[in-house]
Chain A
Amino acid sequence: MKTATLTMARSINEGLRRAMEEDPKVLIMGEDVGKLGGVFRVTDGLQKDFGEDRVIDTPLAESGIIGTAIGMAIRGYRPVCEIQFDGFVFPAANQIITQLAKMPMRSLGALRLPVVVRVPCGGGIGAVEHHSESPESYFTHTAGLRVMACANPLDAYTMIQQAIRLDDPVIFFEPKRRYWEKAEIDLGMDLREAWPVDRAKVVREGTDVTVLAYGPMVKTVLDAAAAAEGEGRSLEVVDLRSLNPLDTETVFRSVRKTGRCVVAHEAPTYSGFGAELAARITEHCFYSLEAPVLRACGFSTPYPPSRLEEHYLPDLDRVLDAVDRSFGW
C-alpha cells in the first residue's frame, strides 16, 4: 500500500502520471498545461517528467486542441485534453460534436478515438463569467460521447485512468470547487479492483428518499443527508459518476426502495440532465413513486455574477426544501 492524503487536483495529477507511465501513447494537451501545470495545477510536474512531446502547451484555440487530438488519436495516440474552463469548451463544440463523437460510427468502427476531454466545471469559486458553467447536457445529448463527473479524490484518481483506457471519447467533468477536498488514496491500487467506471455508487444508504447527484453536488447532498438525519429523515444518496452511459439499474433500485426521488445539479433546471432522469424514473418506477421526481438545480437563467452565485447554486437548504416538497405531495 502506497497511500497518501491528496487533494482532488493532486489525485487527478497522480492518475494522469500513472496512465502516462503505463502507456507511452498517452499525451496531455492544453493551454498552460506544461511549465505552469495548468491553472488548477492538475498537470503540475508532468511536462518536466515526460517532456514537451507528451505534455503539449497548445496555442490558445480550443477547437484546435480537440481537432488535433482527434488527428493524434487516428495516428494511435491517446490524448488527454484540458479545456481550461467549462465556458471555453464551446469553441471546441464543433470538433467534439461533429467529429469526435461521430467519426467512429462514420468509419463503421474502423477508427477508435480514445480522447479524454477534461473540463473543470461548475461554480462556487467567485469567478467571472464563463468560468462557472455546467455544460454536461450538451454532451450527454451527443451520442458517441461518454460523459462522466468525479465527485471525490478517490474517484478522480481511478476514473481518470479508466477514462483514458476506454476506446471511446470521454468528456470528463471535474468539479473545480472540490479540487481542494482531500482524501487518502492508495496510489498502488489495482485499477481492476476500482469501482466500474460506468456504474453509479450509493454513497449513503437511506430509506425515505433517493437524492441523485454528480460532480460538485454530491458533497452538498451528503451534507444535506447528514442534516436531514437530525430531523429523522433518511436520505439515500446516489453519485451517478457516469452520465452517459447511465447506470439506470442502481438508480431504479434505489428509487423503487425509497419511493421518492430528488435530483440535484448545478446546471439549469430546464432541459437539464435531471429531466432525463425524471423521465426515465417515471417510466420505469411509476408504481413505486409516492411523488413526482423533483429537481433542486440551477435556475433556468445564465449563470449569475459571482456575488449572486450562492443564490443560484442549489445548496443544502434547497436540497432539503425539495425533499420536503417530495414528502408534502
Chain B
Amino acid sequence: MPLQIGHTHIELISANMTADAAVAPPRAGSAWKSAGTDGDPVSDGPDAQERHVTIDASRGADAPPELVQLLTPEGERLDHPDYHIELTDDEVRGLYRDLVLVRRVDLEAVALQRQGELGIWASLLGQEAAQIGSGRALTDRDMAFPTYREHGVAWCRNVDPVKLLGLFRGVNHGGWDPTEHNFHLYTIVIGSQTLHATGYAMGVQRDGADAAVIAYFGDGATSQGDVNESFIWASVNNAPIVFFCQNNQWAISEPLERQTRIPLYRRASGFGFPGLRVDGNDVFACLAVTRKALEDARSGQGPTLIEAFTYRMGAHTTSDDPTRYRLASELEAWKLKDPIERVKAYLFKNQIAGQDFFDAVDEEAKALGRDVRRRCLEMPDPNPLAIFDHVYAEPHALIDEERAQYAAYLSSFEGEGR
C-alpha cells in the first residue's frame, strides 16, 4: 500500500507497483549486483513485505524541466543558455577515464569489504559524474570539504585511493594531509563539514586569495542545523563557497520526501543566494555549473547551491540493505541514466574514441583495482602506541604518562611467546 504522507505534492507510487516488487532481487548478472544486495538478508517473514518501500524515487530519472543537462542519457549534446562548455576531445576522454577508474576503485573497495579487508565502505556507485564533474572544476588553489563518500573528488585532488581505504580498514581516521591536496579529511558527522568549509572560505576572503571553496553534502544533510547555519554564514558574509549537494534520493532508508517539501536547490533563495539543479549523472553539466559557481565565488559574487540530481545505485554503505526500503524497479530506471554509459555513447557517436581506447581504459582500471587491492592488503596495522599520537599538538603530561604505562604493560608480555 502506498504510504500516506499527507502532502499533496508528494507523488505516491502507482497501485501497480506493489511491495512485492521491492523484494525482487536485482537482475541476475547485473553489473550492480555486487553493490546492490548486501548486508542483512531480507527476512521472509510475513511482516517483511510491509516494511518495504512504497515511495517511488524512480520518477526522478525523468529529468524535471529545471534540470541543467548538457549530455543526455543517450549521449546527445545539449545547449544551455547559461551553461556553455567547450571540451577538447582529450578532455572528454579524460573525464571518461576518471569515471571508469573511480568506479573501479569503488567496486574493488566493496569487494575488499566483502572479503573482510575493510570494516565498511560507502560506495559512490552512480554518483561518479557529480563527483568527477565538480572535482575537475576545481583549481589547485580551491579547497574541497567532502563527506565520506567523495572518492571521485579525492581522485581529482590526487589523493591516493589507498589512503581512502585506511579509514574504512580502521588503521586511521583519515590518512592524507588535507593541506597537501586541498582536500579536507572525510567528515562522518553529517553536515558538520559545511561549517568548516564556510569558515575556510571566510579565511580565503580575508586573505584576498584567488580561490574558492566547495562543500559537499547529501540530501539528508540538508536537514542538519549545521548545513542551514553554513548557508546563513556564507550568505551574510558573501563567502566564496559553492555548496554542492549530491541529492542521491536516499538518506540510508529515508527518501527525499522525509527531508524536504520543495526541491532542495530552491532552498537557496530563502538564504539569499542562487541555487540550481543539475543532472548529477551528466559529467559535462556538473563540470559546467560547478566551474561557473566557483568563478562567481572567486569574483566576489558569493555562494551558490548546486543540487546535483543523482542516484545512489548501491547501498548506503556495505552494512546497509536497500532491498528493505526501495523498489528494484527504481534502480532499473536509474541505470538507464548511467553517468558513464552516456559519455561512452557520446565518444562513440562522435568518433572521439574507438574500441582501442575503451579497452585501454578498462585495462588501466583492472590494473588500478589490482594495485589498490595489493596495497590495501599490505597496509600494516598501526603500532598500538599510535593511540596516543597527535591527540594534542603541545606536550601533554597525562597522554605521555599513559603512553609510557601502556608501553611498559605491553613489554611485560615480551618473552611469553605472545
Contacts and interface: CB of A to CB of B under 8 A. Distances in A.
B233 A64 contact: yes
A71 B175 CA distance: 19
Nearest to A247: B397
B204 interface: yes
A68 B198 contact: yes
Nearest to B180: A110
Contacts of B60: none
Contacts of B179: 110-111
B192 A102 contact: no
B178 A108 contact: no
B195 A63 contact: yes
A246 B398 contact: yes
Contacts of A36: none
Nearest to B401: A248
A110 B178 contact: yes
Given A67-B196, A95-B195, A246-B397, 19 more contacts: A53-B206, A59-B236, A63-B229, A64-B226, A64-B233, A67-B198, A67-B230, A68-B196, A69-B199, A71-B197, A71-B202, A72-B202, A72-B203, A75-B207, A102-B173, A103-B185, A108-B177, A143-B391, A166-B393
Contact of B199 (A61, A67, A110, A111): A67
Interface string B157-180: 000000000000000111101111
A106 B189 CA distance: 13
Contact of B196 (A58, A70, A107, A143): A70
Given A64-B233, A75-B207, A105 B173 contact: yes
Contacts of A112: 393
A229 interface: no
B342 interface: no
A76 interface: yes
A59 B233 contact: yes
Nearest to A59: B232
Interface string A21-57: 0000000000000000000000000000000010000
What is the interface of chain B mostly: helix, strand, loop, or mixed? helix
A108 B196 contact: no
B85 to A, nearest CB: 30
B200 A146 contact: no
Interface in B296-331: none
A-B pairs, 3 with minimum CB distance = A71-B199, A67-B195, A75-B203
A5 interface: no
Interface of A: 53, 58-59, 61, 63-64, 66-77, 91, 94-95, 98-99, 102-112, 143-144, 146, 166-168, 198, 244-248
Given A67-B199, A99-B196, A106 B206 contact: no
B177 A64 contact: no
A108 B195 contact: no
B144 to A, nearest CB: 12
Among A63, A102, A198, residue most surrounded by chain B Cβ atoms (within 10 Å): A63
B405 to A, nearest CB: 12
Interface residues of B, number: 43
Contact of A108 (B175, B198, B203, B396): B175
A146 to B, nearest CB: 7
Given A59-B229, A245-B398, A74 B200 contact: yes
A251 to B, nearest CB: 12
Contacts of A70: 195-196, 199
A74 B193 CA distance: 12
Given A94-B192, A99-B189, A68 B206 contact: no
B409 interface: no
Contacts of A111: 178-179, 185
Interface in B373-418: 389-394, 396-399
A109 B200 contact: no
Contacts of A75: 199-200, 203-204, 207
Contacts of A66: 195
Nearest to B232: A59
A190 B399 CA distance: 29
Given A59-B232, A246-B398, A64 B195 contact: yes
Nearest to A165: B394
A11 B229 CA distance: 32
Contacts of B207: 75
A145 to B, nearest CB: 9
A104 B177 CA distance: 11
Nearest to B213: A71
B174 A77 contact: no
Contacts of A109: 389-390, 393
A68 B174 CA distance: 21
Contacts of A107: 174, 177-178, 185, 390
B236 A71 contact: no
Contacts of B195: 63-64, 66-68, 70-71, 95
Contacts of A68: 195-196, 198-199, 202, 230, 233
B201 interface: yes
Contacts of B226: 63-64, 67, 94-95
B184 interface: yes
B232 A61 contact: yes
A63 to B, nearest CB: 6
B184 to A, nearest CB: 7
B215 to A, nearest CB: 10
A74 B192 contact: no
